Chains A and B, each alone.
Chain A
């Protein structure tokens, strides 16, 4: 059903910490690995060993540079998967009802058996979070690992998305944004979790934590400099040496 629920009981999603992501692509591959063998049709790779390999991925990591005039530039690794938007335009455009947003937890999914592969939902998504699988002809997107997070067959502590579980740096967090005490709500509040392209009006659930200010870009007051200068006035190096030795 492509009508969006007025509200969802839970608001499950991710917090992605741009201050911590090292750009290792572990989440990209882990996502591909889990989803190609688990949820719906496999994520194919066309021309896999050839000149123009193109595969389907549900999560990709971009790398950006940001630079202010006169300062050193900064590199930001930027993972991006479906943001499970509250006002998901990808859902409402779908002619078949294959795309839907779940009322119980807000996850946006595609019912691959109903999908005709028209690609419209991918057009409607501002974030590039949907990819049409060339071999299967169906739309693929992040499922928030719905087949892990409720999966009774895997240990409870592993019932988190594959990408979150694997992220070595701990840059990805999973939880319920409807619960103000959840890890994601707390983190997002504390670190200024932001929306991507808010002007698109999609109300993304996933939040991004901005990089913390860099000491080489935001000038720091040299509060410590004088620390090293103290010695000068009191007999220099040898004076200090003898004084200190006496104390030992």
Chain B
């Protein structure tokens, strides 16, 4: 799939934002007043920037409200509704907390559940795609949740939790990569099933339908850049999990190191998210003899 910056930013930042909300819903970090407000703004800001960024991906963003209508079937619709609701609930919760010094615990738990729910719904947009076998696995929501919770923990300065979660994340991410590498083959879709011509022998594309490119090819087929996959995987997992874990273990995390950790994690996260799209192969590529 084409790793569109808008979508990478959307999933990464909103994940972090809702991750932070999750922790704040649990009352962490244990701050108050302006500090709480700053954290809350950070959480909501990240989530909002992410959501807004996703609008850049739309052809007709002015109609986005319509996207809230199909919650019965559409994960995107569900995600839209829930994210707004979460922002709303969290906003009330945060206001009460920061300005009235009244952290309503139940409201907090609700925000946490809703924040994680939102992340889950976001993940399900991808995980539901049978057409992209790499995504079409339970590891996808699990990863998204771990990214949100782990990254959120970093932001919330919950180093122990962060360390644990990131460690798990690293393992799950590595597993997902390995599993993902075989997913396309396991899906059973081949150029032969795509064309129904398997009985005639080995099938290959002779001519594309158009000599140039088209929407499908630019959107769904991304072959360039995959050359560097292994390198990027190493970089991403090191930065987003391994190094932070090591740093947390070895150092006494203060503001400086905390900032560094977040920075490392962010770079790793963006790389991982880029890979999430760039590595994902859509079955439509079969019609172009490319994946």
Direct A–B contact in the complex, CB atoms closer than 8 angstroms: yes
Is B69 a contact partner of A96 (Cβ separation < 8 A)? Answer: yes
Q: How far is the CB of B282 from chain A (nearest CB, A)?
A: 7
Is A124 a contact partner of B129 (Cβ separation < 8 A)? Answer: yes
Which chain A residues lie closer than 8 Å to B210 at the CB level?
A: 57, 60
**B227 interface residue, CB < 8 Å from A?**
no
**Contacts A63-B207, A64-B203; A196 near B283 (Cβ below 8 A):** no
Is A64 a contact partner of B204 (Cβ separation < 8 A)? Answer: yes
Which chain A residues lie closer than 8 Å to B209 at the CB level?
A: 28, 57, 60-62, 80
Which chain B residues lie closer than 8 Å to A75 at the CB level?
A: 206
Is A63 a contact partner of B206 (Cβ separation < 8 A)? Answer: yes
**A67 interface residue, CB < 8 Å from B?**
yes
Is B70 a contact partner of A2 (Cβ separation < 8 A)? Answer: yes
Is B59 a contact partner of A133 (Cβ separation < 8 A)? Answer: yes
Give which listed residue, B74, B189, B193, B201, contacts A67 with CB less than 8 A.
B201
**A94 interface residue, CB < 8 Å from B?**
yes
B41-61: which have CB < 8 Å to A?
Answer: 57-61
Q: How far is the CB of A210 from chain B (nearest CB, A)?
A: 6
Is A54 a contact partner of B125 (Cβ separation < 8 A)? Answer: no
Is A76 a contact partner of B197 (Cβ separation < 8 A)? Answer: yes
Give which listed residue, B57, B125, B189, contacts A126 with CB less than 8 A.
B189
> Per-position contact with A for B123-152: 1 when CB-CB < 8 Å, else 0?
001001111100000000000000000000
A65-91: which have CB < 8 Å to B?
Answer: 65-69, 71, 73-76, 78, 80, 89, 91
Q: How far is the CB of A122 from chain B (nearest CB, A)?
A: 7
Is A62 a contact partner of B283 (Cβ separation < 8 A)? Answer: no
A11-43: which have CB < 8 Å to B?
Answer: 18, 28
Give which listed residue, B131, B207, B216, B283, contacts A131 with CB less than 8 A.
B216
Q: How far is the CA of A133 from the CA of B262 in the complex (A)?
A: 39
Is B67 a contact partner of A95 (Cβ separation < 8 A)? Answer: yes
Is A57 a contact partner of B59 (Cβ separation < 8 A)? Answer: no
> Per-position contact with A for B194-228: 1 when CB-CB < 8 Å, else 0?
11110111111111111011111011100000000
Q: Which of B125, B201, B212, B215 has the most chain A CB within a 10 Å cutoff?
A: B215
Closest A-chain residue to B198, C-beta based? A66
**Contacts A93-B74, A93-B75; A68 near B202 (Cβ below 8 A):** yes
**A187 interface residue, CB < 8 Å from B?**
no
> Per-position contact with B for A223-244: 1 when CB-CB < 8 Å, else 0?
0000000000000000000000
Which chain B residues lie closer than 8 Å to A201 at the CB level?
A: 130
Is B205 a contact partner of A62 (Cβ separation < 8 A)? Answer: yes
Q: How far is the CA of A57 from the CA of B215 in the complex (A)?
A: 9
Closest B-chain residue to A76, C-beta based? B197
> Per-position contact with B for A91-112: 1 when CB-CB < 8 Å, else 0?
1111111100000000000000
Closest A-chain residue to B282, C-beta based? A123
Q: How far is the CB of A202 from chain B (nearest CB, A)?
A: 9
Which chain A residues lie closer than 8 Å to B57 at the CB level?
A: 118-119
Q: How far is the CA of A217 from the CA of B76 in the complex (A)?
A: 49
**A125 interface residue, CB < 8 Å from B?**
yes
Q: How far is the CB of A216 from chain B (nearest CB, A)?
A: 13
**A150 interface residue, CB < 8 Å from B?**
no
**A156 interface residue, CB < 8 Å from B?**
no
Give which listed residue, A57, A65, A69, A123, contacts B129 with CB less than 8 A.
A123
Is B213 a contact partner of A123 (Cβ separation < 8 A)? Answer: no
**A194 interface residue, CB < 8 Å from B?**
yes
> Per-position contact with B for A161-200: 1 when CB-CB < 8 Å, else 0?
0000000000000000000000000000000001111111
Is B130 a contact partner of A93 (Cβ separation < 8 A)? Answer: no
Which chain A residues lie closer than 8 Å to B204 at the CB level?
A: 64-67
Q: How far is the CB of B19 from chain A (nearest CB, A)?
A: 23
Which chain B residues lie closer than 8 Å to A114 at the CB level?
A: 63, 66
Give me 9 A-to-B residue pairs in the complex whose CB atoms sit less than 8 angstroms apart, sorted by A's number. A3-B72, A3-B73, A52-B213, A62-B208, A118-B76, A122-B220, A128-B220, A199-B193, A211-B197
Name A residues whose Cβ lies closer than 8 Å to a Cβ of B: 1-3, 18, 28, 52-57, 60-69, 71, 73-76, 78, 80, 89, 91-98, 114-120, 122-128, 131-134, 136-139, 194-201, 208, 210-211, 217
**A-B pairs with the 6 shortest C-beta distances?**
A117-B59, A137-B59, A60-B209, A68-B201, A66-B200, A95-B77
Beyond A54-B213, A66-B202, 18 additional pairs, beta carbon < 8 A: A3-B73, A57-B210, A60-B209, A63-B207, A64-B191, A67-B204, A76-B195, A89-B130, A89-B131, A93-B128, A95-B76, A115-B59, A115-B60, A119-B57, A122-B219, A196-B195, A198-B193, A201-B130
